A and B are shown apart, each in its own frame.
Chain A
Amino acid sequence: MKKIMAYMLTPVLAFGVLSACGPQDSSGSGSNTGKAEKKPDKLVVWEDTDKGVGLEPAAKSFEKKYGIKIQFKEMPMLDQQDKLRLDGPTHKGADIITTPHDRIGPLATEGLIEPLNISSEITSQYTDSSISALTFKGKLYGLPKSTETPVFIYNKKYMKEAPATLDDLYKFSKGDKGGAQYGFLANWTDFYFAHGILSGYGGYVFKDNNGTLDTKDLGLTNKGSLEGADYISKWYKEGLFPKGIIGKKAGQTIDGLFNEKKVASVMNGPWSFQGYKDAGIDIGVAPMPKLPNGEYVKTFIGVKGWNVSAYSEHKKWAQKFVEWITNEENAKIRYEKTQEIPPIKALMKDPIIADNEAAKAVAVQSERGVPMPNVPEMAEVWVPVGNALQLTATGKQDSKKALEDASKTIEQNIKAKHTGK
């Protein structure tokens, strides 16, 4: 009996402690908002892997000017989100992180990054699309450091110059291909690359209402999207694209074939240039050829930006550094070191970019593209649309049925995962 009593007593004791509990100090929180921030000794910056060389000069000049040390650490861009999630609450995280813009929505929703307060004088230096890419729900969450988008890359051995239209390219692929096995390859069952086609015909993912994306209005089943999907499957059905470049491994396969010099031209992003050059290919780069309907291929633009951590204790200074590193002078230095193109209007016309074939192609194509949607709902789009494109490309379903199914899946998934009470 007594033992039982004793057993029961312990929890009672514990809960007795519990009843008078919780954190008593409610004064400590939020004390540093509003007040002028003290100048910190240092700011911690997380930079993408191997890109520190572009950051160093700006860090030095910032240190000289303001006397704040910049401590930077390189880590893969996509790991920074997880790292911030874990390190932030313990105040070991960075003050400034770098991230691709399509993560802005999820990061802001989680409250991991801080909206910035930046004058229009500064923001007007950058291309409009890059600023809108970094804006989520009407708030600017970062400044752009570089922009990238898929372009047309060709092997100069097989192709003298880039064709003006996809029709020309189609004829080239049907013909002798300059000696190559394939005239043109693109990973068009991956929505990232396929979007340019669908959108060029008039399709869209989420309706853009003056900068706010309406995630209830899907444009993947409209006339343009269907036409685009049909155009894509034409390349597969006529055997111009081999059946094996479908699905998750398609990108690797295309790279492999291009590196083996079996392909005359491909559609790929600036990140692939170095690999192709390393494979000993004399590459030419151009904006994407025009679609048969005379429109430009509206590729997805990705913008990498600098963001301020919500956990930072020196947000004002962190923002100052973000402005510093993205200004024209530092962006130019960074471009020279890393070859990543900064979306600064003035630099786009600077000979440093205008005279570089590859950089110019990316810059021109960037102006024609659309920023990837940065809302968290976008996570539900990639797989179903990719699946639909696979199903049409392999001829298992017609584009209407496939894309309607995909839209339904996306809508259901958004409802299931993003109702966000």
Chain B
Amino acid sequence: MEALANQSNHRKTSALLSIIPGIGQVYNKQRIKGALFLILAASYFVVFGNLLNMGLWGFFTLGTELPRDHSIILLVQGVIAFIVIGFGIAFYVFNIYDAFQNGKKRDQGFAVTTIKEQYQNVIDKGFPYLLVGPGFFILIFVVVFPILFMVFLAFTNYDLYHSPPAKLVDWVGVQNFSDMFTMDIWRNTFVSVFAWTIIWTFTATTLQVAVGIFLAVVINQKDLKFKGIIRTLLILPWAVPAFVSILVFSGMFNDSFGAINNDILAAFGIDPIPWLTDPQWTKVAIIFIQTWLGFPFIMAMTTGVLQSIPEELYEAATVDGATVWDKFRSITLPMILAATAPIIITQYTFNFNNFNVIYLFNEGGPAVAGQSAGGTDILISWIYNLTMTSAQYSKAAAVTVLLSVVIVTVALINFKRTKAFKDEGMM
């Protein structure tokens, strides 16, 4: 081989030898390290051999024989096997890289580090990584594992009729996704629920942000007295747990007995409004509730930003003859948005998945003729219904994947935008 022909080409030789982990290190005269690597690699296969064997077999077949095989458990083992393989590959690559690097050192005439030096090196430079390591390891199982499991589930036919132990689950490819767009019943519901989810997200969030900013600016006026009391009062909706507020509102909005119809609207001589039985009014009601629940946070945040806007800017603007509106539009608002954009975006993504308000207020109701989801069901509450009442696990997983795609895309685009926004040098 060419590597052997060149006397000083240790890097290639050691990397090549490292195809069996540790041999390259031994070749580089790092015997203890090499032995450790070899033991590690061997024990990897001894310990995980069975898991990899069963896991991969189970992942690809999802079981072949009843009642011995439980497809879902096999799928779980399969996902774990993949994660373990991921670790294995990472270690393997590191092993080759390490051999290559040390070979390179030898090629260049440096001495390779001894195990003691390496230990020192790790303690000195890699200490933070050592601390983070175990957490990161657990993180993969706690965060990545469930997500992977859910994503894979979206490509199976796991539902009531394909459910262990009575039946095996099979891979069905993109069937669940294509059903969502081709089968009438799924498409109709999906499209209308999705459309309302978008409208809900934008209206509710924009309103809560607008109200929050507006109130913050108003309260921040210099001549205003009793600022503290007003601010405290306005923060109150935030102080009560949303869970409780929503249930209370649900009672207050009751068409026949609620305080809103009976006391407030009646006082103005307005006829009772069907808050809980008419989809349009229910939508208005939950948007109102979310605005009420959400504005104090934005207001508190904006108040902080307002304190930091230099007074000179306004003075200069006054000299230039700017009106109050001009000042707000050209100074205050851009300053606020620049400082709070990331948080405002999280408000949007939060409302996109705001299960609480939708479910606690009217459980996604009221009825809509010819549709299986309720009039105010957003994607997340629809998914809840799919899994809890109809045992449509794979369909629910598919909708979840679609939902995540939307959220991740919006979040990514927005975060990029805000960064660009900041780079323009607003602050």
Contact = CB atoms under 8 A, between A and B. Distances in A.
A29 interface: yes
Contact of B254 (A18, A253, A379, A391): A253
Given A89-B70, A379-B389, A412-B184, A21 B165 contact: no
Given A22-B57, A247-B365, A394-B277, A9 B19 contact: yes
A14 interface: yes
B256 A247 contact: no
A148 B183 CA distance: 39
25 contacts: A7-B89, A9-B19, A18-B57, A21-B57, A29-B67, A89-B165, A110-B166, A243-B255, A243-B272, A244-B254, A244-B276, A247-B277, A248-B363, A249-B254, A253-B254, A379-B391, A383-B374, A387-B366, A409-B185, A413-B390, A416-B183, A417-B160, A419-B161, A420-B160, A421-B161
Contact of B274 (A380, A394, A421): A394
A38 interface: no
A26 B161 CA distance: 25
B167 interface: yes
Nearest to A380: B390
Interface in B61-99: 61, 64-65, 67-70, 73, 85, 88-89, 92-93, 96-97
B257 interface: yes
A23 B67 CA distance: 13
A416 B185 contact: yes
A405 B367 CA distance: 12
Given A18-B57, A88-B165, A247-B362, A242 B370 contact: no
Interface string B145-180: 000000000000001110111110000000000010
B49 A110 contact: no
Given A110-B166, A397-B369, 4 more contacts: A387-B366, A387-B367, A390-B366, A420-B161
A140 interface: no
B16 interface: yes
B161 A418 contact: yes
Given A30-B67, A417-B159, A6 B362 contact: no
* Residues of B contacting A: mostly: loop
B293 interface: no
B185 A3 contact: no
Contacts of A421: 161
A111 B161 CA distance: 10
B209 interface: no
Contact of B165 (A6, A245, A253, A310): A310
Nearest to B257: A244
Interface of B: 12, 15-16, 18-19, 49, 52-54, 56-57, 60-61, 64-65, 67-70, 73, 85, 88-89, 92-93, 96-97, 100, 159-161, 163-167, 179, 183-186, 250, 254-258, 272, 274, 276-277, 362-363, 365-372, 374, 389-392
B256 A29 contact: no
Contact of B92 (A2, A6, A386, A419): A6
Given A18-B53, A376-B160, A111 B165 contact: yes
Contact of A26 (B65, B363, B366): B65
Interface in A1-50: 2-3, 6-7, 9-10, 14-15, 17-18, 21-23, 26, 28-30
Contacts of B256: 242-245
Nearest to A112: B165
Across the A-B interface, the 3 shortest Cβ-Cβ residue pairs: A111-B166, A387-B367, A244-B256
A89 B54 CA distance: 16
A248 B2 CA distance: 78
A106 interface: yes
A402 interface: yes
Given A6-B93, A106-B160, A417-B159, A246 B369 contact: no
Given A9-B19, A29-B68, A249 B370 contact: no
A412 B73 CA distance: 32
Q: Which of B64, B100, B254 has the most CB of A within 10 A?
A: B254
A14 B56 contact: yes
A249 B275 CA distance: 13
Nearest to A14: B85
Contacts of B367: 247, 386-388, 390-391
Given A386-B367, A402-B369, A242 B166 contact: no
A249 B276 contact: yes
Nearest to B276: A247
B166 A109 contact: yes
A83 interface: no
A249 B57 CA distance: 49
Given A111-B167, A412-B184, A243 B274 contact: yes
Given A246-B277, A379-B389, A416-B183, A109 B254 contact: no
Contacts of A417: 159-160, 390, 392
B277 A243 contact: yes
A244 B390 CA distance: 28
A109 B73 CA distance: 19
B369 A391 contact: yes
A110 to B, nearest CB: 5
Q: Which of B70, B160, B165, B276 has the most CB of A within 10 A?
A: B160
Contacts of A29: 65, 67-68
Contacts of A18: 52-53, 56-57, 60
A15 B167 CA distance: 27
